[in-house]
Amino acid sequence: MISGTFHTSYRSDMALRRTWLERLRLGLFIAFVLLFPFVVRKPYPVFLMNQIGIATIGAIGLNILVGYTGQISLGQGAFMAVGAYTAGILTARLGVPWWLTIPIAALFTALVGAVFGIPSLRMKGLYLAIATLAAQEIIIWVVTHWEAVTGGVDALVVPPPMLFGQRVNTDFRFYWVIWPLVGLTALVTANLFRTHYGRAFIAIRDQDVAAEVMGINVFAYKLLAFGISSFFVGLAGALIAHYRSIVTWERFTIETSVLYLAMIIIGGLGSISGSLFGAAFMTLLPAFLTNVGRALQGVIPGMDEFIPYLQQASFGLVIILFLILEPEGLRKIWQDIKNYFALWPFSY
């Protein structure tokens, strides 16, 4: 039985994964991700995994801002739109190679995010949430009305990404673009919060005045948080553009912002694994409901039309139930399970 984790060297104390059990779990997860498309071999589950991967990158990005730095943002959808449209326009209109557009789009989104983070100088909490809501509406309005560049309300068709003469954005092939980037995003974020930048973000979240007194330039670090967060959000947007080959503004409305906020709240604020849990949960729940609805189609005729409504209702209900019953999200449930077995059979 484990009474605690004790380290005898700085090296082991500062490691990202500090116990063999943690390393084992991570190894198992990586093995799962690597083997998944070979074992399943059907397009639909791989497609879902890709969705989860992109959502995880976006959710980690949002979590850096909301969960770690404590700045509420309702502009996630618009920032994803910036990433997606930048990647799409660069490829479709300027002929920039697709793999190059992804980092460019992410960097550009970081810039836009930092600009829209400027109101956070004067506002926090509620007022900042409303300011980002306005940013969301204004950016999407620009996207739908700047027809010369974005194509307006019409879909922007992105030429399929090619590598060695092969089309990359099939479900199976793009899996190997998305999931390494998920791993990279998680690794960068995990390490970010071991540097003084990340520590500063957390200090600002916990008590901004105290952070200022301790010598942290609150404004600069808030802008940095907006920038880093938007970088990953733009990355997710760029991946959507190349994966789906079509960019439409409908994919990036306020509903998307809310969906991502729901992911990180249900998954767990200020947690990377929580972002993954939340992304997986919010991607699989509507898919699950669709399948249940289709299966019930034979029993209850006309079930098909109700599926979108049921998805919407369950979305709202899940958010409310999590907030009331388990505000710390799936991450906390997972923690409780681990604790239970760590102390088993003498847990009290």
CA dist., res. 24 & res. 17, Å (int): 9
Residue list 256-285, contact with other proteins (CB under 8 A): 258, 261-262, 265, 269
Q: Where are the alpha helices (DSSP H) in the chain?
A: 10-13, 20-40, 43-63, 76-94, 98-116, 126-145, 147-150, 171-192, 196-206, 208-213, 218-244, 254-267, 272-296, 303-325, 329-343
CB of 152 to other proteins, least distance (A): 10
The yes or no reply on residue 141 touching other proteins (CB under 8 A) is yes
CA dist., res. 130 & res. 111, Å (int): 20
The yes or no reply on residue 138 touching other proteins (CB under 8 A) is yes
Tell me, by CB under 8 A, how many residues bind other proteins.
46
Is-contact 79 254, C-beta < 8 A?
no
Nearest to 226 by CA among 142, 328, 112, 82: 112
The yes or no reply on residue 303 touching other proteins (CB under 8 A) is no
Q: For 120, how many CA atoms within 13 A lie in the half-sphere containing its CB?
A: 32
Q: Which of helix, strand or coil describes residue 253? A: coil
CA dist., res. 233 & res. 109, Å (int): 8
Q: Work out which of 49, 59, 65, 66 binds other proteins, going by CB under 8 A.
A: 66
The yes or no reply on residue 316 touching other proteins (CB under 8 A) is yes
CA dist., res. 162 & res. 285, Å (int): 32
Q: Work out which of 306, 326, 332, 334 binds other proteins, going by CB under 8 A.
A: 306
The yes or no reply on residue 121 touching other proteins (CB under 8 A) is yes
The yes or no reply on residue 99 touching other proteins (CB under 8 A) is no
CB of 81 to other proteins, least distance (A): 15
The yes or no reply on residue 126 touching other proteins (CB under 8 A) is yes
CB of 134 to other proteins, least distance (A): 4
Burial of 144 (0-12, 13-18, 19+ CB in 10 A): middle
Q: Work out which of 96, 190, 254, 285 binds other proteins, going by CB under 8 A.
A: 254
Taking the least distance from each CB to other proteins, the nearer of 72 and 92 is 72
CB of 317 to other proteins, least distance (A): 6
CA dist., res. 213 & res. 202, Å (int): 15
Site residues, other proteins (CB under 8 A): 66, 72, 119, 121-127, 129-131, 133-135, 137-138, 141, 144-145, 208-209, 212, 218-219, 254, 258, 261-262, 265, 269, 306, 309-310, 312-313, 315-320, 323-324, 327
